[in-house]
Amino acid sequence: MGDADSFRMRMEGVRYRYPRAGSDALSGIDLEFEQGRMYAVLGRNGSGKSTLARCLNGLLVPTVGRVTVGGLDSADGASGLEIRRNVAMVFQNPDAQMIASSVEEEVAFGPENLGLEPALIRGRVDRAMDLVGIRELARRQPRKLSQGQKQLVAVAGALAMEPRFIVSDESTSMLDHDARERVLELFGRLRDDGLGIVHVTHFLEEALLADTVVILEDGVVADEGAPADVLSSPDEVRGLGLRPLEVTVVIRELATLGHRVPAGVLDIEELLSWLNA
């Protein structure tokens, strides 16, 4: 499988069209994802974000082009299992992902499907629950947890696959502020531990935590780069159907009033310290 440095997800000329659809959901995507980094994928409704996420772990196979994970082609049926093991997913609706009747068995579901010995499953489940910090919920019924707790269980279930990447398809969009913070903090920690995180979202604040931001529009990559480069122009962001960061809007207004705020200021603290300088 090669060492961690060389393990990447690659999309090359990827197009995807849903059966019976009139146009492509993805129309020519070239991207590369590395471990140890967090990527935020942004875009308006229908821009192809979810389709992209589903192509990454082989749930969808490109109509044209190819997706490779650690060198394995997702179109090759034989590598499907290997790809899904390395690229775990967390979905939007926590209720539609809970399968088992207790949290620990929920977390165990993936490793069970891999056919591991019970002792090995136990180890993975405990490690995953500890990483996420839900050990005390082990015996609870997933259905009875709060939305935020359920989503943490879903992340633990993904981690128990011992993947190299986690793809989150709007996993924070149904959560309240506290729960969202917890999930994002966890993603940051996992990234620092060397996992690759691909987080699909439509909150720009969340994209600020990423190393790389990818903005999709009509199934193609409209912009890609560090948050400070991609998100600092409110008009560009607005043009792509996204809510611009408030700070950038104020900076633009300040510019029309003749006050130039240095580039790269994206949050309130930085803006206020400029003001008081």
Partner 1 sequence: MAERLTLEEVSYSYPLPGREDLPALDGISLAVEPGEVLCVAGANGSGKSTLAQVCAGLLAPTAGSMGYGGEKIEGRRRLLSFRRKVGLLFQNAEDQLFADTVFEDVAFGPRNHGLKGEELETRVASAAGHAGIDLDELGGRSPFSLSEGEKRRVALAGVLALDPEVLVLDEPFIGLDFDNGERLKGVLGAYREERGASVVIVTHELADAWSLADRFVLLDGGRCAAVEEKSELVRGDIELAGLGMRLPQWGALARGLIRCGVAVADPSDPVVLARAMAERRRASDGR
Partner 2 sequence: MVGSDITIGQYLSAETALHSADPRLKIAATVSAMILVFTYEGWGLVAFTGMMLVILLAVRLPLMPLLKSLRAVWVIVVLTFLLQLFLTPGEVLWQWGFLSVTDTGLMNGVVFSARIILLVVLLGALTMTTPPLKLADGMQSLLRPLKYLAVPVSRVATVVSITLMFIPNVLEQSRKVIRSQMARGADFESANLLRRVKDTVPVLVPLFVKVFHDSDELAVAMYARSYAGGEGRTRLYPMKAGSMEVLFTIAFVVACIALSFL
Assign 262 to helix, strand or coil.
coil
Q: Which does 8 bind (CB under 5 to 8 A by kind): partner 1, partner 2, none?
A: none
Q: Which of residues 99-118 bind partner 1 (CB under 8 A)?
A: none
Q: How far is the CB of 121 from partner 2 (least distance, A)?
A: 5
Q: Which does 126 bind (CB under 5 to 8 A by kind): partner 1, partner 2, none?
A: none
Instruction: Give the residue with the Cβ less far from partner 2, 19 or 115.
Output: 115
Number of H helices, E strands in the chain: 11, 10
Q: Which of residues 202-261 bind partner 1 (CB under 8 A)?
A: 202, 205, 238, 241-243, 245-247, 249-250, 253-254, 256-259
116 binds partner 2 (CB under 8 A): yes
Q: Which does 185 bind (CB under 5 to 8 A by kind): partner 2, partner 1, none?
A: none
Binding mask 64-103 for partner 2 (x = CB under 8 A): -----------------x--xx--xx-x-x-xxx-xxx--
The answer to whether 196 and 164 are in contact (CB under 8 A) is yes
77 binds partner 1 (CB under 8 A): no
- Going along 17-171, which residue ranges are E strands? 26-34, 38-42, 64-69, 72-73, 87-90, 165-169
**Can you tell me the distance from the alpha carbon of 134 to that of 98, in angstroms, rounded to the nearest whole number?**
15
Q: Segment near partner 1 (CB under 8 A), from 55-63, 127-135, 176-184, 190-198? A: 176-184
Residue 77 class from Cβ within 10 Å (0-12 exposed, 13-18 middle, 19+ buried)?
Answer: exposed
**Can you tell me the distance from the alpha carbon of 21 to that of 44, in angstroms, rounded to the nearest whole number?**
19
Tell me which residue has tokens 């980094």: 37
